[in-house]
Structure 1
Amino acid sequence: MVYFVKYFSIALIVSNFNLIYSDDVNIRYEPTWSSLDRRPLPSWYDEAKVGIFIHWGVYTVPSMGSEWFWINWKNKNEKYVKFMEKNYKSDFSYQEFARDFNAELFNATQWALLFRDAGAKYVVLVSKHHDGYCLWPSPQSFGWNSMDVGPKLDIIREVSSAIRQHTDLRFGIYYSLFEWFNRLYLNDKLHLFMRQDYVDNKMIPEQMYLVKTYQPEIIWSDGDWEAPVKYWKSQEFLAWLYNDSPVRDTVVVNDRWGIGTSCHHGGFHNCADRYNPQTLLKHKWENCFTFDKTSWGQRFDIKLSDFLTMEEIISQIVTTVSCNGNVLINVAPTKYGTILPIFEERLREMGKWLKINGEAIYGSKPWHQQNDTLTANVWYTTKSDPRSNNVTFSVNIYAIVLEYPYKTNSININPWNVFVKHPLASYVNYKGLKEELGTKIKSITLLGLQNTTIEWTLNYSSLTINFPDKRHIDHEGLKYAWTFKIATELSDF
């Protein structure tokens, strides 16, 4: 019975997540949530874990406050009004900023290689934000796109081509459904969204063009919150996307498709900006956050303290992935097309950490408990060992330590705490289970120091793991968070 409980508990957890996100074929989806929500999420997304978000547009020219500059200025926000009065003529319009959005130092290949080196597996580019400015030559946005005014480039073409030619990252787009000052939209709004002139003549043609032309594998929808799903025709668009589009087999979408859809419908759930519940969610979700704590767009009115530290960034990655989420980390280029050194530094440091610890992140699954009950700031992920066979079932448990134990140079953890909570555990002696599991721990290693012997002991209530000499850890450049790989083998089940 001990062997059965042990195998059943671990195998069920690992296999269930694989089943939930396996690919499905030969199904046609109806334009209803009951049908669309049954589509399995393509498996590549769950395996990828780490993505890069790019907010780049006309709002980088004033480079003040945030990417919501236009609406804040027009709504008479004092900070923005004073900025404009001090720096621009009285009759200056937001559209005039586009002339200075020249991107003269933009190099899409450099971007792509940087994102690859950062350890990202996918990229989402903002194709159009709420100001309506398009980063492609949209016929529905004549005179207000990156080919007609500004850099005179098809930015989406440049970025998507560079990513696909120089990396193995997936490419996706963000698209804002509404536009603050679009006349068609405002007229539809005036008619309580009983008219759909904006949707039929602007939004849907752009969505279809973007998918057919650039074939993005992520559609990250936003700007949906003012109108219902029926107005946006979101279900019809998603049915076409899943059934007949050129990316129907691999595309993933988020959950912002109209009033009431966030955290309920769509593909992966985003729920809110910077969403990180730090608890296991059964439905796949994504934590999108920014290096700049307040703005998604690049701004110069920023202090060093406004940036996330590397420890905070790694903590976001670890706590999100442990709870079945992905991270989408925002980068904000300047109007020149450059990425500020502090953003690059954060990305490269993130890449170094993932190069060492990525085994515990990419392709991992949530363990049956997400964080440790004995020691704070220890989080878990797991993978089944591909060397498992009909005789043994091998599972690697990754214990990621977010705070170094300077006083003790060791941690006490209990990765198997859930076994005593399992309904079948009433048949199992708790102490006996612990002792037996101890005999089945094959090895414990510290990622980045795999050739260094790790000392450990298994007691009645905890597993004690000793860190190597801190000087050795520092010499190898292991920092921000440290991952112990606990290789276990369960047999005779």
Structure 2
Amino acid sequence: MDVGPKKDLIGELAEAIRSKTYIRFGLYHSMYEWYNPLYIADKRNNFTTDTFVTQKIIPELQELVETYKPEVIWSDGDWEASDSYWKSKEFLAWLYNESPVKDTVVVNDRWGSNMPCHHGGFFTCTDRFNPGVLLPHKWENCMTIDKKSWGFRRNAVLSEYFTLAGLVKELVITVSCGGNLLMNVGPTKDGIISPIFEERLRGMGAWLAVNGEAIYDTKPSVVQNDTITGSTWYTQSKNEKYLYASILEWPEDDTLLLGSLKISKNSQIQLLGYSSIIPWKQSDDKLEIYLPANAHKGQPAWVLKIGK
């Protein structure tokens, strides 16, 4: 706001999101600054001094919270020093007890080199963290469409971008295991979203428009991944009335074999986006589902909705 157009860009963004969408507004904040002389001095002193934190980081974080009232604070840049240097406990105590968002705010786990995957409202652990199993604590898979960079690379080649099928796979596995997907796009230096990123984002939106009920407002099932068809992942509705089976690989003979499910004789199976009821047969060791031929064309993944 001191130079250039003198615009409060964060304030304008916050207002737009809150007035035009139902999205919760959050902010990313990096504590680490590579070339800040105060930080360099503290580092030279092996972090026995904390001038950078007391004069810059803590006042800045408090100003961000009091001015913009974010409901998510995504902290980063903590890895060179412990939470004691960053005064994370002191800031978080203020955030949760005194700040204007104390009753609604959520934070991640990057508040000191000793904290990721141990403390925080949700764990991020490392970039591109996707354990493939259900974890007891809420977690997030923060990843990038460009497999090598969080920013925009003019020299990136096609094979270095996730395909739409690859992105949907990341989403399905993450949600089945109780996680949240953060999918990063790197804009150009003048703020443009390049066509390949736009295509991937629109593709994800189109897939979710049909299959979103298997993702939104769901919770992990008792079993996450099928025992016979390892490319099928499960979620269930919050009221546990419906089970969703997300199919990442369509079976060649259009018959899906599942070993983790036993359903009642009155259960109905639907393929989301397809109008007819899907026939099935239950045996002692497997469930056979007879998928409609050609219904899979052009899709990165498919979802079965199973009434319990």
Alignment match, 2:278: 454
Check if 1:381 corresponds to 2:235.
yes
Secondary structure at 2:233's aligned position in 1?
A: strand
Alignment match, 2:29: 175
Alignment match, 1:466: 290
Match of 1:293 among 128, 147, 150: 147
Name the CA shift for 1:282/1:176 in 2 (closer, same or farther; >3 Å): same
Check if 1:352 corresponds to 2:206.
yes
User: 1:482 is matched by which residue type in structure 2?
Assistant: W
User: 1:301 is matched by which residue type in structure 2?
Assistant: N
Point out where structure 1 has 5 or more consecutive residues left out of the alignment. Answer: 1-136, 138-146, 386-393, 417-433, 489-493
Alignment match, 1:409: 254
User: CA separation in 2, counterparts of 1:461 and 1:442?
Assistant: 17
1:384, CA displacement in angstroms? 4.4
User: CA separation in 1, counterparts of 2:85 and 2:198?
Assistant: 41
Match of 2:216 among 346, 362, 373: 362
Name the CA shift for 1:384/1:215 in 2 (closer, same or farther; >3 Å): closer
Name the CA shift for 1:473/1:192 in 2 (closer, same or farther; >3 Å): closer
Alignment match, 1:236: 90
User: CA separation in 1, counterparts of 2:33 and 2:210?
Assistant: 43
Q: How does 1:68-83 map to 2 (within 5 A)?
A: none
Match of 2:241 among 361, 379, 395: 395
Secondary structure at 1:268's aligned position in 2?
A: coil
Q: How does 1:42-441 map to 2 (within 5 A)?
A: 137=1, 147-149=2-4, 152-385=6-239, 395-405=241-251, 407-416=252-261, 437-439=263-265, 441=266
TM-score normalised by length of structure 1:
0.61
Alignment match, 1:25: none
Point out where structure 2 has 5 or more consecutive residues left out of the alignment. Answer: none
User: CA separation in 2, counterparts of 1:336 and 1:173?
Assistant: 20
Alignment match, 2:303: 483
C-alpha contact 2:151 2:186 (8 A) present in aligned 1: yes
1:208, CA displacement in angstroms? 0.5
Secondary structure at 1:174's aligned position in 2?
A: strand
1:191, CA displacement in angstroms? 1.5
C-alpha contact 2:268 2:277 (8 A) present in aligned 1: no
How many residues end up aligned between the 2 structures?
308
User: CA separation in 1, counterparts of 2:93 and 2:169?
Assistant: 37
User: 1:258 is matched by which residue type in structure 2?
Assistant: G
User: CA separation in 2, counterparts of 1:244 and 1:363?
Assistant: 30
Large movers: runs of 4+ above 4 Å: none
User: CA separation in 2, counterparts of 1:240 and 1:448?
Assistant: 48
Q: Which structure has the bigger radius of gyration?
A: 1
C-alpha contact 2:296 2:302 (8 A) present in aligned 1: no
C-alpha contact 2:42 2:49 (8 A) present in aligned 1: yes
User: 2:248 is matched by which residue type in structure 1?
Assistant: L
C-alpha contact 2:224 2:233 (8 A) present in aligned 1: yes
Higher helix fraction (1 or 2)? 1
Name the CA shift for 1:415/1:486 in 2 (closer, same or farther; >3 Å): farther
C-alpha contact 2:219 2:238 (8 A) present in aligned 1: no
User: CA separation in 1, counterparts of 2:119 and 2:230?
Assistant: 34
User: CA separation in 2, counterparts of 1:185 and 1:293?
Assistant: 30
Deviations 1:247-279 (A, max 9, x none): 111111110111210100111000000000101
Deviations 1:174-200 (A, max 9, x none): 111121111111111111212111111
TM-score normalised by length of structure 2:
0.96
User: CA separation in 2, counterparts of 1:461 and 1:225?
Assistant: 49
